[in-house]
């Protein structure tokens, strides 16, 4: 972006950043939107999980968590996909260099911002990726739960298209178990119902996960 | 939604609500995404303005504003469009019954939530609509600035398609003038640049707005 805005370096950098993150609207996920008409993009997904965090907050085992930090984390957690692409949750090959690709993306993208902001955004993204704080675990739980709900309501569209079985989904849902008994029960029920309806395949190792 | 989840009425209502708000991804705006390839939907827009609020916060004249409330307001401010549709900013006919349509939409949509949450969401939406608090003015400023930036970067795609002239855009941008000298200067500059580039039509009454 070559424009300089009102001779203000900070604003110019920030507008460049905003022009850049618009690209997240063109990153397609493997999950369908709920009417099944098309794949979801990552910008929509980010909006969706941020609102989920607000709606479902009461079900966190520790409701003293900082919801505002969770919301911000979820809004920016997938920006790196602009460079690194969406790595499908069950793509073991893609996961091999996912971290490296995403680190480079974070450096480039957040690097567009003025220096003090850069650090703030990078820290939030890093917190989400590290998954050590309770806030990042709760954020991850919603990030993992979201495609499961969408899959259930679209007749398992993405599960079936990609041959996903219960044990794989259960493994992805681990953060849910860590942060919320209620949401974990819900997750188990939605998977069982999906299997009963024949929209998710069961597999022998599911019991052990 | 007929499912009942883990015999938990609150969660069941919340999941119904989440299934409902997914529909915002199918509400198309009149603005294009920045690569000009397609119209933007309202879910993406909501994500975008929430992040804009964070990025541009320092430019608010009063930086003591409650940014967390702004973010939540922006995430939910357009949910009513699920029922009421997107009313184009320059559609004077559509604006005649916009309030009525959106009030009914808010009652139905937020009415899906458990009662205590319903009130909270309704209050935040009402605050945005009333535009009396500083937070709601700052939120509105970003909501109005966003399509202007996108128009500029897409060669005035939506302005030209809809025959929009400078005075109309200036009028829409009034909340920006109220909350931020820096963003107001930026808005004036982006409009002037757009006119110089021939992507926005000037008009005689622009000076008086």
Q: Is A16 on the interface with B (CB under 8 A)?
A: no
- The answer to whether the CB atoms of B22 and A48 lie below 8 A apart is yes
Residues of B in contact with A37 (CB under 8 A): 26
The whole-angstrom separation of Cα A45 and Cα A38 is 13
Tell whether A55 is within 8 A of chain B (Cβ): yes
Per-residue three-class SS string for chain A:
CCCCCCCCHHHHHHHHHHHHHHHHHHCEEEEECCCCCCEEEHHHHHHHHHHHHHHHHHHCCCCCCCHHHHHHHHHHCCCCHHHHCCCCCCCHHHHHCHHHHHHHHHHHHHCCCCHHHHHHHHHHHHHHHHCCCHHHHHHHHHHHHHHHHHHHHCCCHHHHHCCCEHHHHHHHCHHHHHHCHHHHHHHHHHHHHHHHCCCCECCHHHHHC
| CB nearest A54 (choices: B22, B55, B72) | B72
Tokens of B37: 């390839």
pLDDT in tens, A60-119: 999 999 999 999 999 999 999 999 998 888 888 888 888 899 999 999 999 999 999 999
**Binary contact (A47, B52; C-beta < 8 A):** no
Least CA distance to B114: which residue of chain A? A55
- State the number of CA atoms in the 13 A half-sphere of A15 facing the CB: 26
B185: which chain A residues are within 8 Å (Cβ-Cβ)? 6
**Which residues lie below 8 Å from residue A115, measured CB to CB, with a gap of 6+?**
none
Whether A51 shows a pLDDT value over 90: the answer reads yes
Residue percentage of chain B with pLDDT more than 70: 97
Q: Is A63 on the interface with B (CB under 8 A)?
A: no
Distances (CA, A) of A192 to A30, A165, A166, A170: 22, 12, 9, 11
Mean pLDDT of chain B: 94
Structure confidence at residue A94 (pLDDT): 83
Query: Is the pLDDT reported for residue B1 higher than 50?
Result: no
Identify the bridge partners of residue A111 per DSSP, sorted by sequence position: none
Contacts of B3 (CB under 8 A, 6+ apart): A193, B12, B15
DSSP state letter for B29: E
Instruction: Name residues 106-135 of chain B within 8 A of A (Cβ).
Output: 113, 117
For the record, the structure tokens of B150 come out as 């996108």
Local confidence band at A1 (pLDDT 50, 70, 90 cut-offs): very low
Estimate the crossing angle of helix A42-56 against helix B67-76, to 10 degrees: 110
User: pLDDT digit string (tens) for B141-170?
Assistant: 999 999 999 999 999 999 999 999 999 999
Per residue in B168-181, pLDDT (tens digit) is: 999 999 999 999 99
Give which of B16, B18, B196 to mutate to test A binding, by max A Cβ within 10 Å. Answer: B18
For chain B, say whether A60 makes contact (Cβ under 8 Å).
no
| CA dihedral sign, ordered B28, B31, B138, B84 | negative
Closest partner CB to B47 (pick from A43, A54, A190): A43
d(CA B93, CA B90): 9
What is the C-alpha radius of gyration for chain A, rounded to an integer number of angstroms?
Answer: 18
Q: Which residue has the higher pLDDT, B89 or B103?
A: B103
Helix (H, G, I), strand (E, B) or coil at B120: helix
The chain A residue lying nearest B110, using CA atoms, is A55
CB pairs under 8 A between A and B: 129
Q: How far apart are CA A66 and CA A70, in angstroms?
A: 7
Using the beta-carbon criterion (under 8 Å), do B15 and A186 form an inter-chain contact? yes
Q: Chain A residues with CB inside 8 Å of B37's CB?
A: 26
Q: What average pLDDT does range B103-115 have in this prediction?
A: 97
pLDDT by residue (tens digit) across B20-64? Answer: 999 999 999 999 999 999 999 999 999 999 999 999 999 999 999
- Distance between CA B34 and CA B151 in Å, rounded? 8
> CB-based contacts of B12: which residues, under 8 Å, 6+ apart?
B3, B4, B5
Q: Which B residues 157-176 touch A at CB under 8 Å?
A: none
Average pLDDT over residues B202-209: 68
Contact B149 A15 (CB under 8 A): yes
Distance of CA A52 to the CA centre of its chain: 12
Residues B57 and B139: beta-carbon distance below 8 Å: no
- Return the HEC string of B66-97: CHHHHHHHHHHCCCCHHHHCCCCCCCHHHHHC
The CA distance from A40 to A29, in Å, is 6
- Token pair recorded at residue A208: 């052990």
Domains and CATH numbers, chain A: 8-196 (1.10.3210.10)
Residues B137, B115: contact at Cβ < 8 Å? no
List, for residues A52-63, the tens digit of each pLDDT value. 999 999 999 999
Q: What is the pLDDT, as a whole number, of residue B207?
A: 59
Q: Nearest Cα to A172, choosing from A193, A187, A189? A: A187
Looking at residue A87, what is its pLDDT? 84
Give A123-172 pLDDT, tens digit per residue: 999 999 999 999 999 999 999 999 999 999 999 999 999 999 999 999 99
Residue A196 in contact with partner chain B when CB distance is under 8 A: no
Chain B contact for A189 (CB, 8 A cutoff):
yes
- Provide, as residue numbers in chain A, all residues whose Cβ is less than 8 Å from the Cβ of B52: 18
Chain A nearest-CA distance from B18, in A, is: 7
What does the pLDDT read at residue B158?
Answer: 94
> Residue B17 is nearest to which of A18, A19, A55, comparing CB atoms?
A55
| Residue of B44, B46, B153 lying closest to A19 (CB–CB) | B153
């Amino acid at each position: 972006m070559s424009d300089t805005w009102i001779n203000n370096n900070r604003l110019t950098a920030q507008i460049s950043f905003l022009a850049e993150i618009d690209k997240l609207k063109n990153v397609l996920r493997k999950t369908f939107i709920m009417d099944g008409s098309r794949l979801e993009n990552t910008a929509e997904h980010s909006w969706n999980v941020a609102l989920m965090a607000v709606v479902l907050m009461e079900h966190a085992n520790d409701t003293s968590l900082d919801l505002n930090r969770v919301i911000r984390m979820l809004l920016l957690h997938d920006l790196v996909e602009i460079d690194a692409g969406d790595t499908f949750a069950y793509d073991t090959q893609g996961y091999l260099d996912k971290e490296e690709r995403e680190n480079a993306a974070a450096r480039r993208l957040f690097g567009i911002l003025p220096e003090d902001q850069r650090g703030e955004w990078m820290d939030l993204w890093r917190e989400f990726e590290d998954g050590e704080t309770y806030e990042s675990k709760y954020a991850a739980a919603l990030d993992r739960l979201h495609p499961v709900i969408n899959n259930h309501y679209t007749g398992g569209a993405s599960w079936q298209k990609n041959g996903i079985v219960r044990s794989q989904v259960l493994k992805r849902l681990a953060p849910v178990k860590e942060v919320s008994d209620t949401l974990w029960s819900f997750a188990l029920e939605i998977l069982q119902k999906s299997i009963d309806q024949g929209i998710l395949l069961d597999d022998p190792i599911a019991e052990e996960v």
